Homo-oligomer: A and B are copies of this chain.
């Protein structure tokens, strides 16, 4: 199975959701990307349709915004 990508920015809501997602779908099935630190992937996240973090982009390209930590604009600062 192709991996999902979990974008987050280190916020408490993000970390909590990251743990839940890894428990649910398995660490081997998800790439975790901290776009607060790996800033050259912010553009990729936006192009995938990510409006806020935490968000999970599924293997078929759908974006699941999970709870609400911060907007992409906030992450860009």
Which residues in A have some Cβ–Cβ distance to B below 8 Å?
4, 16-17, 20-21, 23-25, 29, 58-60, 62-68
Contacts and interface: CB of A to CB of B under 8 A. Distances in A.
Contact of A65 (B59, B62, B67): B67
Contacts of A64: 17, 20-21, 66-67
Identical copies of this chain, number: 2
A58 B23 CA distance: 9
A11 to B, nearest CB: 15
B62 A20 contact: yes
Contacts of A58: 20, 23-24
16 contacts: A16-B62, A17-B64, A20-B62, A20-B64, A21-B64, A23-B58, A24-B24, A24-B25, A24-B29, A24-B58, A25-B25, A63-B67, A64-B67, A65-B66, A65-B67, A66-B66
